[in-house]
Every structure is written in structure tokens, then in C-alpha cells.
Structure 1
Amino acid sequence: MALGGCAGSSKFRRYDGPEVTYVVVNKGQRRMHLLHNASLLKSYDIQLGFAPIGHKQIEGDGKTPEGVYRIDRRNPNSEFHLSLGISYPNVNDVAAAKALGKSPGGDIFIHGQKSAFRRAKGDWTWGCIAVTNDEMEEIYAMVRDDTLIALNA
């Protein structure tokens, strides 16, 4: 795996290793794994939504979704260093929230930390997956749009 920083202190890195074909998040273990087919490329400790047990159902519930989604966008100007968007909510999520008379929410991302100088403690996001800023730079370079992401309990 070759991952190198660009000149200076840029947060944008280059990656020319094997393609990340799948991202797996194990919420209970607080770990995220980047895979090339069946081969593990990299693993990270993660932080989740402030109410991490169970599947996200409605906006503001503090849960991180469960299920299979896609990386569907990237934000180089994220308030949380860098971020990769997750395609939550899908049609089933929207229907389930609507049945409750609520909004499913959205804007679920893999992102860095709000502060460049310290990592927040515990689960603190509104449903996102957080890593360190250095790790986010690596993930941002490695993971392409449309990559599958499985979020497991």
C-alpha cells in the first residue's frame, strides 16, 4: 500500500495502492475496516453517534445507521476536517420514518475531528463515524465515491 502526502501540509493525499472495494463498520467493536475484495487493507478505531445502539430511524436520534449503503459524496471543506458522505437515508429508511410521522434525517458522514488539536472522547457525533484528522486524510484518499459501506451492529 502506497500512501503519500503532497508537498507541504496539505490535507489532500495521494493513494496508489489496491482499490478499496468495501468499507465495513463494526459498531459494537468501534472499528472500521477498508477492504480490497476479501483482503484487509487498513483498520481504524472509530467514534459513533451519541446513542450508538440500534439503527438510525429518525432525525436527531443520535444513532449511526445500520445496513448497506454507498459512499456518495465528499466534502473537502467539512467542519470536521474532511468527510465522505454515506447514502443514508435509502427508500426503506424514508418509509420507516414516514410511518412514524418523522423525518429520517440525513447528512451521515465518515469525518475527522472538529478540533485539529485533540480527539473528542467517547461517542459524540449525531450519527456519523468519526476518526482522527490524520486517519481521515488517509481514508479520504483511499475510498472512492460509490464504494459500498456495510454498517453492522
Structure 2
Amino acid sequence: MMKQKISYFALVLAGLIMLAAIFYSLNSGISAQASSGAERYTVKAGDSLFIIAGKYGIPVAALKQANGLKSDWLAAGQVLIIPLNSSTGQSKAKSLKAILAERGITDPWSTLKIVINKTNHSLSIVYKNTWLKTYPVDIGSGGLADKQVQGDLKTPEGTFYIAEKSVLSPADYYLGTRWMRLSYPNAEDAGRGVRQGLINSQTGDSIVNAINAGKIPPQRTALGGGVGIHGGDIPSFGKDWTWGCIGLSNGDVEDFYDYVSVGTTVIITK
């Protein structure tokens, strides 16, 4: 009986030693990565693995592996380790300029497009069918629904183009350092406006003609206007603080501003 007890306790002790060794190994791996320069990122409301990985130019799988994540679920306040880039040994987010250079893209002005997902609060720069970089954004304070009329504070959905670009110096308090006006309302909005009696057919034709010519459509109709992509985002503004525009930090909007042009396609989805 005594021998059986000793054998049982020895087995338990061996198991505890093995668990401790595994824990130490895992913890050492994380510590080594952190001490070697890996960056830490605190998850904010509205973040996703896709947005964070895009910000740092790393695969989602690498981000999940570095943090032992089994699912895509994240909580605000959660701290993630950003794995080192294998080629540079750095975890700092790559600039769009660096990404374009790595991929040998020399004519971004004619080939890039912008894809915005309102639910994910993301703005992605896309080259042909390749997603190059993703930035976190805020949208209109009126909610996720599609923009309908002037003053509803909603962000429109559909296919648009950049109709105007401006560098703002000094920076505007709300618009930040960069402004890109979008071609809202578009032809589909014009048709809807006529059907709903919001605008007359003459105004609808003016909108369609402007869109066909690649110009700025009429901005002072019942459909609203003045929708764009801009900087100015600061923590005190909170979440989804714009009047219907797409808001980014000044640093993020400056990162891609020079690589898009008047005429660049902008697709906004829910």
C-alpha cells in the first residue's frame, strides 16, 4: 500500500514538473519576443484582427499565432504582441510607400482603389485584387444605415470617386491635415432622390451629368453633400464622430494621400 502511494505521488509530481516546463517554455518564448523589440498593441473598440494585421503589414495568421488566439474574437483593452517582421526584424507598421516599393508598384495613382467597410470600421488600399494596407476609421454618428438626406449624419454606401483633394495647413480641428471630397451623391442617389420626390428631374440630371464628366456633383440638394475622407481623429472625439465622412488619424490619412488622386475609385460597403 505504501509503495502504491509513493508511486502515485511520484506520478503527480512528474506531471506537475512537466506542466511547469511547458509553461516556462511558452512564457520564455513570449518574453524573448517582447524583449527583442516586438511591439505591443492595445485593442480599441471597433478593432479586428484584420484591421490590426493590416496596420502592421503582417498576416492575420501570424498575429493569431504570436498571441495564442484560437478565434477572431477580441476585447477592447486586450493587449496583443505584434510579431516581428521576418525580413526587417521590426514590428512597426509599414508605410504604404514601403509596401508599394516592395511589390514594385510604380504607378499607384492609376491602379489603386479604396475600399471602406463601415461595419469593420476599416479603409483598405487595394491594388488590382491585392489588399495592401488597412487603416481603422470612424464613420458618421448617424449609425450604420446608408445616407438618405442632408443632415442625417450617415455615411453613404456605393461606388464613388475622389472628386477633390486638399492639404490643410494649418490643420483643421475636425478635418485634420488632409481632405478628399467624394462624388456623393452619385447617379444611383440621384435616381432615388427623384423617385422619392427629394429632388426634381432637372437636379437629378445635373448630378448624373457631373458624375459622367468626373466632376463634383451638386452639393447643396436635399440628398446632402460634403462627404469625404479626412484626418482629425483624436481620442476625445470618441467613436463614430463625423457628420457622415470617413475619419482617420492625421498620420494614417497622410500615409496614403499622395498615392491616390482625383478620380480614384472609392467603394463603401456596410
Fold-level match, TM-score > 0.5? yes
**Bigger relative contact order, structure 1 or 2, given CA contacts below 8 A and separation 6+?**
1
Root-mean-square deviation (CA, aligned residues, Å) is 2.3
Q: Post-superposition shift, 1:47?
A: 0.2
% same residue: 28
Q: CA deviation at 1:139?
A: 2.1
2:198 aligns with: 101
Task: Please tell me whether residue 113 in structure 1 is matched to residue 209 in structure 2.
Answer: no
Partner amino acid for 2:137?
A: I
Q: Which has the higher strand share?
A: 1
- After TM superposition, where is structure 1 displaced by more than 6 Å over at least 4 residues in a row? none
Q: Retained in 2: the 8 A contact 1:83–1:110?
A: yes
Query: Which residue, 45, 54, 69 being the options, matches 2:145?
Result: 54
Deviation at 1:96, TM superposition (A): 2.4
Preserved CA contact (<8 Å) 2:114 2:266: yes
Name the counterpart of 2:248: 131
Name the counterpart of 1:140: 257
- What is the alpha-carbon distance in structure 2 between the residues aligned to residue 100 and residue 83 of structure 1? 31
Residues 52-85 of structure 1: CA deviation (Å, up to 9, x unaligned) = 3111110110110101111111022273121111
C-alpha distance in structure 2 between counterparts of 1:59 and 1:95, whole Å:
16
Work out which of the residue numbers 35, 39, 43 in structure 1 matches 2:134. 43
Q: In structure 2, do the counterparts of structure 1 residues 38 and 119 end up closer, same or farther at CA, with 3 Å as the change threshold? A: farther
Q: Distance between the aligned counterparts of 2:253 and 2:236, measured in 1?
A: 12
Counterpart-to-counterpart distance in 2, 1:136 and 1:119:
18
Match of 1:64 in 2: 155
Which of 43-52 and 90-99 deviates more? 90-99
Report the CA distance shift for 1:82/1:96 in structure 2 as closer, same or farther (over 3 A): same
Q: Per the alignment, in what secondary structure is the counterpart of residue 88 of structure 1?
A: coil
Alignment match, 2:183: 87
The SS at the match of 2:258 is: helix
Among 34, 49, 64, the residue aligned to 2:125: 34
Bigger CA radius of gyration: 2
In structure 2, C-alpha distance between the alignment counterparts of 1:63 and 1:74, rounded to whole Å: 21
Distance in 1 between residues matched to 2:123 and 2:133, nearest whole Å: 8
Change in 2 beyond 3 A, CA 1:122/1:101: same
2:139–2:244 CA contact under 8 A, matched in 1: yes
Separation (CA, whole Å) in 2 of partners of 1:114 and 1:42: 19
**How high is the TM-score relative to the length of structure 2?**
0.48
Contact 1:27 1:52 in 2 (8 A): no
User: What is the CA distance between 1:114 and its match in structure 2?
Assistant: 6.3
TM-score for both structures, normalised by structure 1: 0.81
More helix by proportion, 1 or 2? 2
Aligned residue-pair number: 141
Letter in 1 for 2:262: D
**SS of the counterpart of 1:3?**
helix
SS in 2 for 1:75: strand
- Partner SS, residue 237 of structure 2: coil
